[in-house]
């Protein structure tokens, strides 16, 4: 029977995925739950397991192709793998031979019970993958702490599981004997999936002996029926079908170690998940030099990110040291840049998604930008006075960013045309919440985590949420929920020194605010006593890019004017405790 392999749902708002690598070729034998292919989305990289044992008869989606959730990826033919066809083939010979060799009917119950470990599994208490956090839908088994046949105590650590948010141990739900391991090491399972079976010690030998007895019984079956031509024809395919039967126990535990065998030399035997290997490749981290902080020395995402940050600091520290001895014409090229020079490489999945979104925005919107300058001198002085007490009281640093977010979110309430979207049916939705996305530069590319209900948060609330989301970006812990639901976006392009930027709107939103660098420079001011005079002031450019299909230039100017008035007034003393 043909079993379809489809692209499963891989998180909220994830609608498609790209096949990055097939782990099996057409014609190869696969086991149930064995990793079959690797898939990448804009939010997660994962392996898709085989839904059934059999032969991979057809691959429908090639590597580097992108398909929607639910699309058929491949077909597995389980008709030759000893599923329902093997018992059926054995049933007919038994009916024909029943009148002559009576003893052959006695082993029949044993042959029916033998497939239980690979099909329905051993009888006992199931060990399932528990929910390990909000929006976590799956986990990868990184290590089994017990082997089949071993005794376990209730609440004793049984295996280790890794997700994109947490690494943890799963305890045994009851005391007994570990009868069966369903999900092998390095295999991924959904929350609620059956990982293993724990039962009584008496059941363990029966499960292990039955597969051993099955092979000789099937070999003897053709012997008493040589004169019946149909019998050998039906029994002949039964032998190869039955051979994989005893294997699931061993392969399910050994197939997993076979997957990470390749990176083992580079990491001195330390366990490394596929996602960590990929992250190390993207950041240029040598895994053999990384000391894992996980259980048993396993290298985690955080270890790779920390190593990448340490490399950056070493490179930045080495550059000034080398500059005095270098000639004035020598240009110091960072290692990451040197590695890319002269090469042609594939775009990463997240880079492709960013590119597609940018082009979609430009194709579907009539984008225009308006720029104003704002005097934030009073605001910067206010921040300097309050930052120490704010840090002590709120536990986070007071950067200029929360002031801009606060002013922008408040102005959205009074200018709903900026906080809207155009629907496909030519209707307009004016949002009743201010969910402000913050564009953040990260190792993987541009991320836009969202501050939910920013218009109702205090300055301290915005500062805390901004710090929390920035921390998730640095550690790679952003969830799909953190990046969904935005109605308006702010991009701090001035963080790298840009005076202003003609930013592209974060489609399908209709406007995005860009914050330029704050620069101290001489400007003409109207002093109450001195009249017009030149003074040194803190100045910043604000850019609003917008969809001219809905937002007019006058709308943009009014919105920017509201932000300018709020920032220049600098009346935040009440929220800062001053």
424 is catalytic: no
Q: Is the peptide bond before 307 cis (omega within 30 degrees of 0)?
A: no
CA atoms within 13 A on the CB side of 97: 25
Catalytic site includes residue 548: yes
Pairing state between β 488-491 and 436-441? parallel
Q: Shortest CA distance to 248 belongs to which of 187, 157, 322, 316?
A: 187
- Nearest alpha carbon to residue 520 among 381, 341, 407: 381
Token readout for 578 is: 């001053």
Question: CA 436, 441, 446 angle in degrees (round to 5)?
Answer: 75
Residue 277: C-alpha distances to residues 27, 114, 129, 348 (Å): 28, 39, 24, 15
Could you tell me if 72 and 62 are in contact, meaning their C-beta atoms sit under 8 angstroms apart? Answer: no
Of 46, 36, 34, residue with least CA distance to 9 = 46
C-alpha distances in Å from residue 463, one per residue of 62, 278, 400, 497, 564: 45, 33, 9, 22, 20
Neighbour-count burial of 406, counting CB atoms closer than 10 A to its CB (0-12 exposed, 13-18 middle, 19+ buried): buried
Question: Which residues contact residue 47 at a Cβ distance below 8 angstroms, ignoring those fewer than 6 apart?
Answer: 23, 35, 36, 37, 38, 39, 140, 187, 188, 274
Residue 125 DSSP one-character state: E
How many Cβ atoms are within 10 Å of 527's Cβ, its own excluded? 9
Question: To 10 degrees, what angle do helices 230-242 and 85-97 make?
Answer: 140
Q: Length of the chain, please?
A: 578
From the CA atom positions of the chain, what is the Rg in Å? 32
Query: Out of 42, 167, 548, 555, which one is annotated catalytic?
Result: 548
- The candidate with the shortest Cα–Cα distance to 236, out of 215, 214, 224, 219, is 219
Report the interhelical angle of 459-475 vs 377-394 (nearest 10°).
70
- Backbone dihedral angles phi then psi of residue 423, each to the nearest 5 degrees: -90, 165
Measured CA distances, 18 to 51, 58, 70, 74, 273 (Å): 19, 18, 13, 14, 19
Token pair, residue 405, equals 């977010």
Catalytic residue among 64, 286, 456, 552: 552
Tell me how crowded residue 34 is: count the other CB atoms within 10 A of its CB.
Answer: 22
Q: What are the helix (H) ranges across 476-552? A: none
CA angle, residues 414, 419, 421, in degrees to nearest 5? 145
Contacts of 359 (CB under 8 A, 6+ apart): none
Cα–Cα distance measured from residue 578 to residue 573, given in angstroms and rounded to the nearest whole number: 5
Q: Which structure tokens are listed for 554?
A: 């006058």
Pairing of strands 446-447, 436-441: antiparallel
* Residues annotated as part of the active site: 548, 552
């Amino acid at each position: 029977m043909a079993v379809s392999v489809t692209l499963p749902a891989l998180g909220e708002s994830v609608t498609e995925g790209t096949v990055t690598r097939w782990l099996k070729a057409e014609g190869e034998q696969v086991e149930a739950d064995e990793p079959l292919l690797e898939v990448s989305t804009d939010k997660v990289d994962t392996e898709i397991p085989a839904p059934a044992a059999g032969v991979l008869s057809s691959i429908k989606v090639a590597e580097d192709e992108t398909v929607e959730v639910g699309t058929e990826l491949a077909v597995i033919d389980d008709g030759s793998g000893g599923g329902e066809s093997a018992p059926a083939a054995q049933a007919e010979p038994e009916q024909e031979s029943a009148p002559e060799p009576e003893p052959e009917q006695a082993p029949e119950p044993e042959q029916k019970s033998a497939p239980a470990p690979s099909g329905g599994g051993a009888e006992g208490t199931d060990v399932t993958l528990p929910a390990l956090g909000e929006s976590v839908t799956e986990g990868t088994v990184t290590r089994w702490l017990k082997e089949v046949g071993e005794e376990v105590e209730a609440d004793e650590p049984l295996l280790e599981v890794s997700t994109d948010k947490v690494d943890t141990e799963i305890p045994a739900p009851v005391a007994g004997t570990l009868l069966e391991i369903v999900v092998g090491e390095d295999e991924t399972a959904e929350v609620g999936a059956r990982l293993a079976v724990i039962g009584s010690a008496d059941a363990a030998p029966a499960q292990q002996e039955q597969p051993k007895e099955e092979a000789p019984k099937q070999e003897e079956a053709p012997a008493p029926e040589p004169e019946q031509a149909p019998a050998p024809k039906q029994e002949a395919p039964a032998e190869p079908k039955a051979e994989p039967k005893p294997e699931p126990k061993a392969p399910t535990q050994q197939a997993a170690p076979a997957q990470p065998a390749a990176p083992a030399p580079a990491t001195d035997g330390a366990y490394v998940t596929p996602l960590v290997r990929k992250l190390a490749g993207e950041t240029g981290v040598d895994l053999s030099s990384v000391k894992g902080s996980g259980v048993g020395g396993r290298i985690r995402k955080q270890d790779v990110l920390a190593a990448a940050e340490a490399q950056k600091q070493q490179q930045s520290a080495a550059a000034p040291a080398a500059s005095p001895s270098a000639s004035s014409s020598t240009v110091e090229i960072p290692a990451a840049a040197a590695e890319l020079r002269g090469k042609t490489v594939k775009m990463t999945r997240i880079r492709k998604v960013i590119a597609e979104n940018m082009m979609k925005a430009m194709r579907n919107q009539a984008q225009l930008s308006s720029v104003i300058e704002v005097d934030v001198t009073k605001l910067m002085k206010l921040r300097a006075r309050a930052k120490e007490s704010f840090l002590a009281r709120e536990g986070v640093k007071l950067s200029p960013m929360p002031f801009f977010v606060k002013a922008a979110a408040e102005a959205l309430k009074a200018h709903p045309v900026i906080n809207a979207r155009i629907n496909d049916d030519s209707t307009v939705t004016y949002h009743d919440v201010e969910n402000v996305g913050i564009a953040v530069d990260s190792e993987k590319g541009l991320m836009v985590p969202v501050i939910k209900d920013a218009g109702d948060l205090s300055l301290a609330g915005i500062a805390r949420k901004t710090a929390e989301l920035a921390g998730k970006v640095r550690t790679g812990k952003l969830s799909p929920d953190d990046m969904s639901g935005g109605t308006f976006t702010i991009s701090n392009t001035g963080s790298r020194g840009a005076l202003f930027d003609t930013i592209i709107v974060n489609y399908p939103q209709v406007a995005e605010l860009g914050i330029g660098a704050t620069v101290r420079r001489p400007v003409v001011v109207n002093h109450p006593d001195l009249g017009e005079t030149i003074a040194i002031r803190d100045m910043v450019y604000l850019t609003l890019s917008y969809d001219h299909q809905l937002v007019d230039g006058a709308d943009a100017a009014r919105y920017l004017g509201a932000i300018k008035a709020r920032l220049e007034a600098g009346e935040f003393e009440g929220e800062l405790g001053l």
